[in-house]
Structure 1
């Protein structure tokens, strides 16, 4: 059978990452993509990063014959920041559908079929669960399930059924023509995915949340607490200034020294509610969800406390804490 003239989906894997592992090879990510229950001859794979990263990746064999095409796209180091890489991948993609995943993420077994189904059924954007993994713990271990609660809770809207309330850049799919019209901001912060979400909402884009569209992001506990969640709190004030639709409670903004405490511990309550409402979509039986609930609450308290510390650092010592909140 002759190969199709164009792919159905282009998957962009960028090589940018935190400075500790910024040469992370996408071998595990690609291996997981090769096991998807989906015809890979309909999939274009785009690997994008700096020339130095491609030199490092050259030691690994890529399964080029498995996909419609494997497009290697070196980008000059000066343009190889996270958001720029994703925008560049959208420009060169050949398919009508575009999926984004990071080089340190493992897609779940039905990641690709789930997002393809959503877009085929009329969604403009598809998002799913974001989980975590370490070298020793997989995404379904007790600690990783608890640590992931604030992250996947962020993506879910407050509804009785799972619906998209945000998007994260390492796990979403979108119609390419829409992505070309609504690009990522290239601010060197972690929240341009939120800015894109607000922009897409204002344009009338239709969102879908797919429980099977799961990825497990590589992490260390130090990064999770002192970098990612600290940064999320630190960037709150910048995010508010960047988009009028950024969530805010105007009354709390009038009492800045109290706002971080109330705002972040309100999110602990939301996390607890989300755990009972949505954790079964991750495959947790009711008994296990109940047993893990105290651990999930502790993880939420730690994460939100780090965010609260980030807000106070941005409020009281922004210059001194900027390096800790770098992206």
Structure 2
């Protein structure tokens, strides 16, 4: 990554830890979001041993799922939906003198979403997400760390709530060359039991995922990149009936292209388009993403 501002990293590197709006699939899939699919290039190219600072980020994405992948992995033109999602994030970055060469971030994230499907529409504020990240630099070109988030079960509307707690944890990594950058994550999502009055009790399946980004540092203000996002979700178990919910496990792989624009030393804009290339029991990803980050 090219060293462009006071902390020695690009602004895009400071906006790393953002789960997608639908981290964990429910009994019925309602979006094709792969965990952390929103990330861009340099997400994990992070500094160490710095003075505290803050970042505010606004994320948005829209997914027009005109088809679904069935249980056999075949793409079917049915079950279409349009979903618009957003996340507003505040991040505090800090290093501690007592722990040299290791740095931390603490985040508070609020999700927003609007869905149009089957002649109905709904929207509002979704779950709130909080958690820390920690990392170090094995050498001046690389970063290695961990992150973990808790996602609350509540939302402003019943349709916006998950009704169970979820934890997303992953290993994060980055490597920088003179003209290229490669970074990504590898992690899992585990969830508590879903309880609702008058309904069966469910245990959501574990989710495993990875997000990879490879970019070309074309100029000091423009950086195109390729993306690969993958997830595999275990099936949902009906604890009341002691049965597995049919066709509740899922899998998806999506590829995309985008570009990062450095508007100023403190402001960046990153758009991207992504589409599924294979899947099972999931709406297709046919999505555009955007990220606006401001450092202060």
TM-score, normalised with respect to structure 1: 0.24
Task: Flag the structure with higher helix content.
Answer: 1
Task: Flag the structure with higher strand content.
Answer: 2
